[in-house]
Amino acid sequence: MRLFRFIASLGVAFFFSFSPNDANAACVRGGCSGQLCVNEKDASNAITTCEWSPAYDCYARFGRCEQSPNGQCEWQLTKELRRCLQTPHADGQADELRESADALLDVREINGVRYVSGGVGDEEQAALKAMENDYNLKVLMTADKGAFVSSAMIHIVNATGETVLETESEGPIMLVRLLPGLYGVNAKGAAPQQVRVGSNGRAVAYLRW
pLDDT score, position 11: 38
Q: Which of 54, 74, 103 is the last residue of a domain?
A: 103
Q: What is the pLDDT of residues 163-181, one digit of tens each?
A: 999 999 988 999 999 999 9
Same domain, 57 and 147: no
> Domain limits at 98?
3-103
- With bands split at pLDDT 50, 70 and 90, how would you rate the model's confidence at 113? very high
User: In the prediction, which pLDDT does 89 show?
Assistant: 53
| Rounded CA separation 115/123 (Å) | 18
CATH for 169: 2.60.40.10
Tell me: do 70 and 52 sit in the same domain. yes
Q: Please check whether residues 76 and 133 belong to one and the same domain.
A: no
Strand order in the sheet with 181-187: 163-168, 153-158, 181-187, 193-197
Q: How far apart are CA 22 and CA 64, in angstroms?
A: 18
Angle between helices 91-104 and 54-62 (to 10 degrees): 50
Instruction: Domain count for the chain, please give it.
Output: 2
Q: Which of the pair, 150 or 207, is modelled with greater confidence?
A: 207
For residue 148, what is the DSSP state? Answer: B
C-alpha to C-alpha distance for 96 and 107, rounded to whole angstroms: 16
Distances (CA, A) of 161 to 26, 39, 177: 55, 54, 18
The pTM (predicted TM-score) of the whole model is 0.54
pLDDT of residue 100: 55
Instruction: Using a pLDDT cut of 90, give the percent of the chain over it.
Output: 27
CA 74 to chain CA centroid, Å, is: 14
- 98 lies in the same domain as 153: no
Residues 95 and 40 in one domain: yes
Residues 129 and 189 in one domain: yes
